[in-house]
Amino acid sequence: MKIKELRELSNDELFGRRYELRKEIFNLRLQQQSGALEKPSVLRSNRREVAQIETILTERNRKVAAK
């Protein structure tokens, strides 16, 4: 997903998406270790999306704390 699309999601949706991505990353790493991973770029893009979600959640938490 693009960062703009991620920003439109609610916090609950972001937490759910982050959970699903982390599960997928775990499975991809297992595939990588066994030599069955066909697209290594998927692992990188998933890690990047998790980082973007974390950034959005942190920004929202800081905005709430500043009020």
- What predicted TM-score, i.e. pTM, was given to this entire model? 0.91
* Average pLDDT over every residue of 45-66: 96
Q: Which domain holds residue 57?
A: 3-66
DSSP character string of 37-64? -S-HHHHHHHHHHHHHHHHHHHHHHHHH
Residue type at 67? K
CATH of the domain at 25: 1.10.287.310
- Alpha-carbon Rg for the chain, nearest whole angstrom, is 14
With a CB cutoff of 8 Å and minimum separation 6, the contacts of 52 are 3, 6
* Average pLDDT over every residue of 39-64: 96
Query: What token pair was written down for 3?
Result: 């960062």
When divided into structural domains, the chain yields a total of 1
Asked whether the predicted pLDDT for residue 24 surpasses 90, the reply is yes
CA 2, CA 16: separation in Å to the nearest integer?
Answer: 16
